[in-house]
Amino acid sequence: MKKIVIVGGGIAGLTAGIYARLSGYEAEIYEKNPIAGGQCMGWNRKGHHIDNCIHWLTGTKENSSLRKLWETIGALAPSTEFVQHDKFYTSYIGNESITLWKDLERTKNELLQLSPEDESEINKFMEHVKYATCCQMPVDKPMDMMNLVDYIKLGKSMAGMQKVTKEYGAIDIGDLAAGFKHPLLKALFTDYMFKEYIASSYLVSYATIASGNGEIPVGGSLAMTNRIIAKFESLGGKLYCNRPVKKVMISGTIANGIELLNGHIISADYVICATDAMEMFHKLLGRTFMDKKWEACFNDEERYPLASGLQVAFSIDKSKFELTDTVFLDCEPFEVNGKEISRISFRTYEYEKDFAPEGKTVLQSNIAQFDDDYRYWKALNKDDYKRKKQEFSEIIKERIEKKFPQLVNHIDLLDCWTPVTYERYCNSYHGAYMSFITRKNVKSFHVKGTVKGLSNVFVASQWIMAPGGLPVATAAGKFAVQRILKKEKRDYMF
Ligand SMILES: Cc1cc2nc3c(=O)[nH]c(=O)nc-3n(C[C@H](O)[C@H](O)[C@H](O)COP(=O)(O)OP(=O)(O)OC[C@H]3O[C@@H](n4cnc5c(N)ncnc54)[C@H](O)[C@@H]3O)c2cc1C
């Protein structure tokens, strides 16, 4: 039996491992951390659970190709329960609020009630969110392996997206917000996603939630990761944790295997790299193998920015806090890396009974960070880094207490983490937790996942396609194995 060795046990690597086993290959995953899952992770602090990842999982709608993929890898089962949410999020200015409900008619009515003078923009926006509900990520096979019939089928199923792209494909979220007159609507549209993102991606995100295709599985990120690991191991796959990989062993155009940091050599017929792209090309393979497209994007932070987060988690008394889900609020301005911040977000996890002791709930806040912010955190020495995190945590706590005085003495810090945390934990370049942000007037990033000059090395990672995220990661894992099957002239349809 031929052996596929996979470097990295995130969602992409685990998916590749499962499809490798389903295709009859030996599959071994080598993961640097004590547990697999990469960024789809959660951790415990002071008897509470902090969920790192799933804000929404695209592909939860029954009978979609992506749902089938999630079920194949064990992430979801027909019996999986989802969190009962009725909204995407709520934005506040002072005491005035507006919500993007899953119910699109309700949202439209409330937006119109709030700002009748924005009627035409509201109607246009809501109409196009409805069109965007048809958006499905093609995951049956890689685009370059699709035939004419596949393309026609895809084009037909995504007809509504042409209208969305025409109206919202050449502007960014900042432009979208600027088209509204009411200050709360301007805030609403720029609160959730980076304003640099192309506006169509925002409509697709809201449409995903509204159409029930972006639910949160109960138990969150770690529980889902554990189900995928269990599936891989039940198929006979071997997962080796605490095994950082030093390099892929290359001889001419062939990889013979990998070398672990502890010096052990693992032989392989195929190597799948399922790590961050820079880790892959700077350390594991060597920069000469990096695709020119990748190189160009990494060298152009202005047009291809990367985003991460500065985050803090608190334990709060459930009885003292009535807001649920995700909310955005204005606050007294403060600075991080010299940038003024006047709005903060919280997400509460009151719906997860096991995430906190009785009577408590976890509240998390996330401030967007970009390449220069990563450099700011990275440049701090150990003491200053710790001090700045403490300062930031205190600032957020104060802002929360000011807004919700009933929380004074009922809010405790659990943890604070930065882009550098993601770099340390996952070897993520600049702490990025998605791939490149697609900006207006910039070509969206997409590579095949093959490595020029190496015939038996493939890439499975969210980095193969903007904007990354869990759906891209899992599809990339499946695609890498499909490419191996095609190379071996075997049937690659799952
Ligand atoms: C705060 C946050 C919120 C998010 N929210 C969402 C969301 O709501 N929906 C969504 O779809 N996505 C979300 N994401 C993104 C999602 O988590 C990622 O897209 C996805 O997990 C990436 O999977 P991956 O396998 O490509 O990469 P990773 O998860 O980065 O996995 C790479 C793995 O390789 C390992 N590794 C690296 N170098 C080596 C080495 N040398 N040797 C061995 N192992 C190595 C790492 O430890 C890691 O386990 C979020 C991410 C974060 C951080």
Are 397 and 405 a contacting pair, CB within 8 Å?
no
The Å distance, Cα 391 to ligand 1 centre, comes to 28
Distance, CA of 109 to CA of 51 (rounded, Å): 33
Whether residue 493 has pLDDT greater than 90: no
Backbone angles phi, psi at 436, to 5 degrees: -60, 140
% of the chain surpassing 70 pLDDT: 100
Say how far apart CA 310 and CA 281 lie, in whole Å: 27
Q: For residue range 134-180, what is the model confidence (pLDDT) as tens digits?
A: 999 999 999 999 999 999 999 998 999 999 999 999 999 999 999 99
Nearest CA to ligand 1 atom 13: 469
The pLDDT assigned to 494 comes to 81
Res 324: pLDDT: 82
Residue type, 123: N
Distance 38 CA to ligand 1 centre (A): 4
Query: Does residue 217's CB lie within 6 angstroms of at least one atom of ligand 1?
Result: no
Q: How far apart are CA 13 and CA 426, in angstroms?
A: 13
Six token digits for residue 372: 């220069």
User: Among residues 471, 359, 474, which one has the least CA distance to residue 57?
Assistant: 471
CA 10 to centroid of ligand 1, rounded, Å: 6
Query: Which residues, in sequence order, are CB contacts of 7 under 8 Å at separation 6+?
Result: 13, 30, 245, 248, 258, 271, 272, 273, 274, 275, 280, 284
CA 115 from centre of chain: 33
Residue among 39, 458, 470 whose CB has most ligand 1 atoms within 8 A, to mutate = 39
The CB of 13 under 6 Å from ligand 1? The reply is: yes
The domains of the chain are located at: 3-40+57-78+218-302+442-487, 97-215, 307-431
Question: Is this prediction's pTM over 0.85?
Answer: yes
Quote the CA–CA distance of 36 and 53 in Å, as a whole number.
14
Burial class (CB in 10 A: 0-12, 13-18, 19+), 359: exposed
Task: Verify whether ligand 1 is closer than 6 Å to residue 52 (CB atom).
Answer: yes
Check if 220 has its Cβ closer than 6 Å to any atom of ligand 1. no
Q: What is the mean pLDDT of the chain?
A: 96
User: What spacing in Å lies between the alpha carbon of 461 and ligand 1's midpoint?
Assistant: 8
In short, whether 247's Cβ falls inside 6 Å of ligand 1 is no
- Could you give the maximum distance between any two Cα atoms of the chain, in Å? 68
- Report how far ligand 1's centroid is from the alpha carbon of 471 (Å): 11
SS3 at position 207? helix
Output the DSSP codes for 345-395.
Answer: EEEE-TT-GGGS-TTEEEEEEEEEEEHHHHHHHHHS-HHHHHHHHHHHHHH
Predicted confidence band of residue 492 (pLDDT cuts 50, 70, 90) = confident
- C-alpha distances (whole Å) from 383 to each of 377, 387, 418, 430 are 12, 6, 15, 20
Fold of 3-40+57-78+218-302+442-487: FAD/NAD(P)-binding domain (3.50.50)
Predicted confidence at residue 303, as pLDDT, reads 94
What does the radius of gyration of the chain's CA atoms come to, in whole angstroms?
23
Does residue 15 line the site of ligand 1, with CB under 6 A?
A: no
Q: Whose CA is nearest to atom 53 of ligand 1?
A: 433
Q: What residue's CA is closest to ligand 1, atom 4?
A: 53
Q: What is the pLDDT of residues 34-91, one digit of tens each?
A: 999 999 999 999 999 999 999 999 999 998 999 999 999 999 998 899 999 999 999 9
Q: Is the CB of 10 under 6 A from ligand 1?
A: yes
Report CA torsion sign: 389, 39, 428, 232.
positive
